[in-house]
Structure 1
Amino acid sequence: MDINTVAQNEIISVIVYTFVAFLLMALVLILFFYFSRKKIVQQEVEKRNLEVQYQKTLLHSVLVTQEEERKRIAQDLHDDISSKLNIVSLNSHLLTTPNLTEEEIAEISTNIINLSSKVLSNSRRLAHDLLPPVLEKFGLHAGVKELCLEFNSSKAVAVKYENHIEFDIDENQKHLHVFRILQELMNNSLRHGKSTEISISFEKENNANYCKYSDNGIGFDIHKLENQRGLGMKSIESRISFLNGSININSQIEKGTQIVFNF
């Protein structure tokens, strides 16, 4: 075999080996991309499942909260308003009793007037809880301002409120969630946190609306599951989700609570 033939055979061998090497590399790359893609798809599916589960949890919390609110309203209607109206009805029938003295008529009439006034006051309070008239007519700023005045009037807590945002009254439906979040936070600060001072401020940063909330209460351990899973906290998270916002909570025992959420 001459030198040319040997050289040709070596070239052919090199070409074959190179081709086989490229095939193996291509196969390895294909397998790598296949399994990588499969893993990415699996991760995406798991992520989507977690998101669906989270949305289901939030929806469940909303339904539970709504059911609790309905029960409270039904209880108020039955135990308070309905019972007083029954007494008004009975007193009204008493007025038809023959031979009543002027003193008896005056006493019965006074009872009717007093009870009717209480029913009217309670029905207004119930309507205010469902949808604050000030919020509906004048927007979020006016609604929160009135809410702060109500808490301040209790003398149990001092609320400081600042607003640096012009709210669009046409977005009241969305802003109602913000109002309810603050209502829940303030109730928690007063009832559970034993707070004497609350601070609320609205600020605009990077084209997003932010609410900064803090109190000087006893605080809580945010890592405890019972604090994370409380009905109030789930309700707040569900409202934040509806607002396409996010919330950051910082609290320590005896160091109060600081909360920032955007909407």
Structure 2
Amino acid sequence: MDEWVARERRQKNETIWSPKDVTFKTKLFVITVLPLVAVSILVGAITAFQASRLIEVQTSTVEQRILASKRQELQNTVALALTSIKILYDHEPGGRQAAQEEAKRILHDVTFGEDGYFFVYLRDGTNIVHPKLPHLVGNKWWDLQDPKGDFVIRNLMLAAQSGGGFHRYIWDKPSIGVEAEKLGYAVMLDKWDWMLGTGLYIDDIAQQVDAIRADFTANVRQTLLVIFLITMVAILLILSAVATVSFSEQKFADGKLKELTHRIVDIQEQERKRVSSELHDSISQLLVSVRYGIEMIHSKAAGTLDLQRQAENCLRILDDAISEVRRISKDLRPSVLDDMGLAAALVSLAKDFESQSGITVRVSTERCRARLSDSAKTGLYRVVQEALTNVAKHAAADEVRIALSAGVKDLTLSIEDNGVGLPSPIPTANGLGIRNMLERVETHGGTMTMSRLPLGGTAIRVTMPLATSNGPVEAA
């Protein structure tokens, strides 16, 4: 029966931790988590792609809007400049040369903003007005190129000759002393063969566009982060659900196995009780009857020495057989446990153990209400029996103390010896004996602890709940 119980426990462990279950849990995890991760990645990728396109469209729109505003501003500025020299250009008071000189003076003196000014070039590319770069005045710049290879003056001239137009190029920015992108606007004064123009630096547009792009990018990152966090929370919830299901299944399996183990132990104890009763009431009585018959033969064979000796040998053998049957019967199920209760059974067990091992056993018990079931009493008796066996095998002790006390709600059993104590680290319930003790106690809702005593030795403490109803007084 013990081997069958041990096999069932091994099968329990194999069932709980079998590769099949692990594979099932893995499959459950995969089929729930992978689709979620895939959807999250897809949503994130689509969001990033759409956001990238939206950023480009929005920044392009903003850039075009700013450029349109700048173009309008340039046209208005040139219109004001033309208005300021209109009388000179139309009527040429004092002659053409005098009018042109006055017009150049006016255009030279008119500035706007930090880097706004007017420039004038002749048709051949000769500069005649440039308030910011005076070294350009009087020189021909028809072939002037910017760092990108653009022919600046030629293209401005073409835009002016087409009725007024815009051109983008790279030019020195006076306020910072470095080259920057500039949007120029030029018109032709055909009567004087002048190209009048001005421009606005548009490097600030790039800065504005970059700032807008950075804002959009930050928003997209926050959106992706939210998607990631939602995915992680969902994965954690799924993991928690899988763990809960797994724990519930394992707890259910443990409960069923404990119930089965309890049932097996009950059947085992019933079988032991039946066999013990059969040995005590049947086999033992038959042996005693045979002994009476042999004693009668021995008494009537007074004149036959050989027959008397044979009878005496048979009597000795029968006495040994009767003692062995009674010992086996008592080990299987002590009748005192059923007849007189747990306390008397522990005293009897202690006396037998003391006579067999030579180890002194001191037993202290209290009387309590009959609030322990027969199976609980049997379980405690087996715990003490297993503990004494361990003391005899491993403790090297010469004294054992057993104490049984009952409180209001709990019954406490302690077993202490003065031996070598538990090994370090303290063993867990891997051994079959300790596991049996634990399961017998836990089956009835109790707890069992093992510890080392300060002066050496081992202490086992069992606490088991008592029934609330009161009954007749007896030794537990």
Q: In the alignment, is the contact (CA less than 8 A) between 2:412 and 2:461 conserved in 1?
A: yes
- 1:187 positional shift: 1.5
In 2: Cα distance, 1:36 partner to 1:164 partner: 54
In 2: Cα distance, 1:55 partner to 1:190 partner: 34
Equivalent of 1:126, from 328, 332, 337? 328
**SS of equivalent to 1:192:** helix
In 1: Cα distance, 2:249 partner to 2:336 partner: 41
TM-score (norm 1): 0.64
In 2: Cα distance, 1:155 partner to 1:235 partner: 23
Answer yes or no: is 1:181 the counterpart of 2:374.
no
- 1:252 positional shift: 7.1
In 1: Cα distance, 2:445 partner to 2:305 partner: 63
- 1:132 positional shift: 0.5
- 1:140 positional shift: 0.5
Equivalent of 2:418, from 216, 236, 251? 216
Q: In the alignment, is the contact (CA less than 8 A) between 1:139 and 1:168 conserved in 2?
A: no
In 2: Cα distance, 1:243 partner to 1:222 partner: 29
In 2: Cα distance, 1:121 partner to 1:181 partner: 25
TM-score (norm 2): 0.38
Equivalent of 1:45, from 226, 234, 245? 245
- 1:158 positional shift: 1.9
- 1:170 positional shift: 7.1
- 1:222 positional shift: 5.6
Structure showing the higher helix proportion among its residues: 1
In 2: Cα distance, 1:222 partner to 1:165 partner: 37
In 1: Cα distance, 2:444 partner to 2:463 partner: 8
In 1: Cα distance, 2:459 partner to 2:424 partner: 11
Q: In the alignment, is the contact (CA less than 8 A) between 1:222 and 1:251 conserved in 2?
A: no
- 1:178 positional shift: 0.4
Which residue matches 1:195?
A: 397
Q: Which runs of 5+ in 1 are unaligned?
A: 1-24, 96-100
Answer yes or no: is 1:243 the counterpart of 2:444.
yes
**SS of equivalent to 2:395:** coil
Which residue matches 2:461?
A: 260
Using the TM superposition, name which of 177-186 and 48-57 deviates more.
48-57
Answer yes or no: is 1:229 the counterpart of 2:430.
yes
Q: In the alignment, is the contact (CA less than 8 A) between 1:221 and 1:252 conserved in 2?
A: no
Q: In the alignment, is the contact (CA less than 8 A) between 1:159 and 1:198 conserved in 2?
A: yes
Residues 86-139 of structure 1: per-residue CA shift (max 9 Å, x gap): xx9xxx9xx9xxxxx711211121122221121111111111011101111011
Which residue identity does 1:258 align to in structure 2? Answer: A
User: How has the CA–CA distance of structure 1 residues 40 and 167 changed in structure 2, closer, same or farther, with 3 Å as cutoff?
Assistant: farther
User: How has the CA–CA distance of structure 1 residues 167 and 132 changed in structure 2, closer, same or farther, with 3 Å as cutoff?
Assistant: farther
User: How has the CA–CA distance of structure 1 residues 183 and 36 changed in structure 2, closer, same or farther, with 3 Å as cutoff?
Assistant: same
User: How has the CA–CA distance of structure 1 residues 248 and 224 changed in structure 2, closer, same or farther, with 3 Å as cutoff?
Assistant: closer
Q: In the alignment, is the contact (CA less than 8 A) between 1:251 and 1:258 conserved in 2?
A: yes
Q: In the alignment, is the contact (CA less than 8 A) between 1:140 and 1:172 conserved in 2?
A: no
Q: Which runs of 5+ in 2 are unaligned?
A: 1-225, 298-302, 465-476
Which residue matches 1:166?
A: 368
In 1: Cα distance, 2:369 partner to 2:353 partner: 22
In 2: Cα distance, 1:242 partner to 1:168 partner: 19
Using CA pairs under 8 Å that are at least 6 residues apart, name the structure with larger relative contact order, 1 or 2. 1
In 2: Cα distance, 1:55 partner to 1:251 partner: 33
Q: In the alignment, is the contact (CA less than 8 A) between 2:422 and 2:451 conserved in 1?
A: no
Which residue matches 1:148?
A: 350
Q: CA RMSD in A?
A: 4.3
Which residue identity does 2:463 align to in structure 1? Answer: N
Equivalent of 1:106, from 290, 297, 308? 308
Which residue matches 2:341?
A: 139
In 1: Cα distance, 2:463 partner to 2:379 partner: 12
Which residue identity does 2:247 align to in structure 1? Answer: K
